[in-house]
Amino acid sequence: MVLSVETRSTAVVIPPVEPRNLAKVPFVELADGRLQGVVSSGSDIERVYVSSIGAGTHGLSCSTNNNRPCGGLRGAHPCKHLQALLAEAEAQYGRQRVARYLRVEAEEGVSLLSALKPHHEPTPAATVFSRFLRHLAYLEVPGSGEPIPELHWFPSVRETRSDI
Ligand SMILES: [Zn+2]
Protein backbone atom coordinates (compact mmCIF):
# COMPACT_ATOMS: atom_id res chain seq x y z
CA MET A 1 0.00 0.00 0.00
CA VAL A 2 1.48 3.35 -1.03
CA LEU A 3 0.30 6.45 0.76
CA SER A 4 0.86 9.83 -0.79
CA VAL A 5 2.17 11.69 2.22
CA GLU A 6 2.54 15.03 0.47
CA THR A 7 -1.22 15.43 0.13
CA ARG A 8 -1.77 14.67 3.83
CA SER A 9 0.38 16.94 5.88
CA THR A 10 -0.86 15.62 9.22
CA ALA A 11 -0.41 11.95 8.37
CA VAL A 12 3.11 10.67 8.53
CA VAL A 13 3.12 6.95 7.93
CA ILE A 14 6.54 5.51 8.66
CA PRO A 15 7.24 2.04 7.37
CA PRO A 16 8.14 -0.37 10.17
CA VAL A 17 11.71 -1.57 10.64
CA GLU A 18 10.46 -5.17 10.65
CA PRO A 19 7.10 -6.63 9.59
CA ARG A 20 4.46 -5.76 12.14
CA ASN A 21 1.64 -7.93 13.46
CA LEU A 22 -1.22 -5.51 12.88
CA ALA A 23 -3.87 -8.00 13.89
CA LYS A 24 -2.34 -8.31 17.33
CA VAL A 25 -1.25 -4.70 17.85
CA PRO A 26 -3.09 -2.46 15.38
CA PHE A 27 -1.65 0.74 16.81
CA VAL A 28 1.61 1.64 18.49
CA GLU A 29 3.29 5.02 18.94
CA LEU A 30 5.92 6.85 20.93
CA ALA A 31 4.00 9.91 22.07
CA ASP A 32 2.90 11.89 25.12
CA GLY A 33 5.91 10.65 27.06
CA ARG A 34 4.76 7.07 26.68
CA LEU A 35 5.06 4.03 24.53
CA GLN A 36 1.37 3.48 23.98
CA GLY A 37 -0.95 1.57 21.74
CA VAL A 38 -3.93 -0.65 21.21
CA VAL A 39 -3.67 -4.42 21.61
CA SER A 40 -6.25 -7.01 20.56
CA SER A 41 -7.48 -9.32 23.26
CA GLY A 42 -6.06 -12.79 22.86
CA SER A 43 -9.28 -14.50 23.88
CA ASP A 44 -12.10 -12.16 22.87
CA ILE A 45 -12.06 -10.71 19.36
CA GLU A 46 -14.54 -8.05 20.41
CA ARG A 47 -12.29 -6.56 23.04
CA VAL A 48 -9.21 -4.36 22.77
CA TYR A 49 -6.80 -3.13 25.38
CA VAL A 50 -5.12 0.23 25.60
CA SER A 51 -1.64 -0.31 26.99
CA SER A 52 1.18 2.08 27.81
CA ILE A 53 4.63 2.25 29.34
CA GLY A 54 5.86 5.60 30.66
CA ALA A 55 9.15 6.91 29.26
CA GLY A 56 11.65 7.18 32.09
CA THR A 57 9.09 6.32 34.77
CA HIS A 58 8.28 2.88 33.30
CA GLY A 59 4.80 3.22 34.74
CA LEU A 60 2.62 0.46 33.31
CA SER A 61 -0.98 0.89 32.34
CA CYS A 62 -3.41 -1.50 30.70
CA SER A 63 -7.18 -1.33 30.48
CA THR A 64 -9.94 -1.91 27.97
CA ASN A 65 -10.99 1.02 25.86
CA ASN A 66 -13.89 1.37 28.32
CA ASN A 67 -11.37 1.91 31.13
CA ARG A 68 -11.83 -1.48 32.71
CA PRO A 69 -8.57 -2.50 34.32
CA CYS A 70 -6.73 -5.38 32.71
CA GLY A 71 -6.90 -8.49 34.87
CA GLY A 72 -3.47 -9.60 33.72
CA LEU A 73 -1.64 -6.53 34.99
CA ARG A 74 -0.93 -7.12 38.64
CA GLY A 75 1.40 -4.68 40.30
CA ALA A 76 4.65 -4.43 38.39
CA HIS A 77 4.29 -7.59 36.34
CA PRO A 78 3.62 -6.65 32.69
CA CYS A 79 0.57 -8.38 31.21
CA LYS A 80 0.70 -10.07 27.81
CA HIS A 81 -0.72 -6.94 26.18
CA LEU A 82 2.19 -4.84 27.39
CA GLN A 83 4.58 -7.56 26.26
CA ALA A 84 2.99 -7.56 22.81
CA LEU A 85 3.03 -3.76 22.70
CA LEU A 86 6.74 -3.62 23.46
CA ALA A 87 7.55 -6.35 20.93
CA GLU A 88 5.61 -4.56 18.20
CA ALA A 89 7.18 -1.21 19.12
CA GLU A 90 10.58 -2.78 18.54
CA ALA A 91 9.37 -4.04 15.15
CA GLN A 92 7.96 -0.62 14.29
CA TYR A 93 10.75 1.65 15.52
CA GLY A 94 13.71 -0.64 16.11
CA ARG A 95 15.05 -1.68 19.48
CA GLN A 96 17.51 1.19 19.87
CA ARG A 97 14.93 3.88 19.36
CA VAL A 98 12.44 2.29 21.76
CA ALA A 99 15.12 1.80 24.42
CA ARG A 100 16.23 5.43 24.04
CA TYR A 101 12.69 6.73 24.25
CA LEU A 102 11.76 4.70 27.32
CA ARG A 103 15.20 5.27 28.83
CA VAL A 104 15.87 1.58 29.27
CA GLU A 105 19.41 0.37 29.79
CA ALA A 106 19.53 -3.10 28.25
CA GLU A 107 22.58 -4.92 27.05
CA GLU A 108 22.59 -6.74 23.73
CA GLY A 109 20.57 -9.94 24.03
CA VAL A 110 18.65 -8.78 27.10
CA SER A 111 14.96 -8.10 26.48
CA LEU A 112 13.82 -4.54 27.02
CA LEU A 113 10.93 -5.95 29.01
CA SER A 114 13.19 -7.46 31.63
CA ALA A 115 15.23 -4.25 31.82
CA LEU A 116 12.22 -2.10 32.74
CA LYS A 117 11.81 -0.87 36.29
CA PRO A 118 8.07 -1.16 36.18
CA HIS A 119 5.26 -0.18 38.48
CA HIS A 120 1.54 0.17 38.01
CA GLU A 121 0.51 3.64 36.90
CA PRO A 122 -3.00 3.73 35.42
CA THR A 123 -3.40 6.08 32.47
CA PRO A 124 -6.77 7.08 30.97
CA ALA A 125 -7.44 4.89 27.95
CA ALA A 126 -9.60 7.46 26.19
CA THR A 127 -6.72 9.69 25.07
CA VAL A 128 -4.80 6.85 23.48
CA PHE A 129 -7.90 5.33 21.97
CA SER A 130 -8.97 8.58 20.33
CA ARG A 131 -5.48 8.92 18.85
CA PHE A 132 -5.91 5.43 17.46
CA LEU A 133 -9.24 6.32 15.87
CA ARG A 134 -7.65 9.37 14.29
CA HIS A 135 -4.81 7.18 13.06
CA LEU A 136 -7.38 4.91 11.39
CA ALA A 137 -8.99 7.91 9.74
CA TYR A 138 -5.62 8.87 8.23
CA LEU A 139 -5.34 5.44 6.70
CA GLU A 140 -8.43 5.85 4.60
CA VAL A 141 -7.04 6.22 1.13
CA PRO A 142 -9.56 7.58 -1.37
CA GLY A 143 -9.91 5.41 -4.44
CA SER A 144 -7.96 2.52 -3.00
CA GLY A 145 -9.63 -0.85 -3.16
CA GLU A 146 -6.92 -2.47 -1.09
CA PRO A 147 -7.81 -3.88 2.31
CA ILE A 148 -6.43 -1.91 5.23
CA PRO A 149 -4.71 -4.30 7.67
CA GLU A 150 -5.36 -2.05 10.68
CA LEU A 151 -9.11 -2.41 10.19
CA HIS A 152 -9.27 -6.19 10.17
CA TRP A 153 -9.40 -6.53 13.91
CA PHE A 154 -11.96 -3.78 14.39
CA PRO A 155 -15.01 -5.02 16.29
CA SER A 156 -18.38 -3.78 15.14
CA VAL A 157 -20.05 -1.26 17.44
CA ARG A 158 -23.13 -3.44 17.71
CA GLU A 159 -21.18 -6.34 19.15
CA THR A 160 -19.22 -4.37 21.73
CA ARG A 161 -22.50 -3.50 23.46
CA SER A 162 -22.78 -7.06 24.76
CA ASP A 163 -19.61 -6.41 26.75
CA ILE A 164 -21.38 -4.03 29.17
ZN1 LIG B 1 -3.19 -6.08 29.75
Q: Structure pTM? A: 0.77
CA 146–ligand 1 middle distance (angstroms): 31
For position 78, what pLDDT does the model report?
93
The arithmetic mean of pLDDT across residues 89-116, rounded, is 94
Q: Is the pLDDT of residue 156 over 60?
A: no
Report the pLDDT value the prediction gives residue 144, as an integer from 0 to 100.
53
Burial of 104 (0-12, 13-18, 19+ CB in 10 A): buried
Q: Which range is least confidently modeled, 35-39, 48-52, 146-150, 154-158?
A: 154-158
84 Cα: distance to centroid of ligand 1 (angstroms): 9
Q: Say yes or no to pLDDT of 163 above 50.
A: no
CA of 39 to the centre of ligand 1 (A): 8
Q: What is the pLDDT of residues 100-111, one digit of tens each?
A: 999 999 888 899
pLDDT tens per residue, range 60-90? 999 998 889 999 998 788 999 999 999 999 9
Q: How far is the CA of 51 from the centre of ligand 1 (A)?
A: 7
Mean pLDDT of 19-42: 92
Taking the centre of ligand 1 as the mean of its atom positions, its distance from the CA of residue 50, in whole angstroms, is 8
Rounded distance between C-alpha atoms, residue 135 and residue 140, angstroms: 9
CA 80 / ligand 1 centre spacing (Å): 6
d(CA 156, CA 14): 27
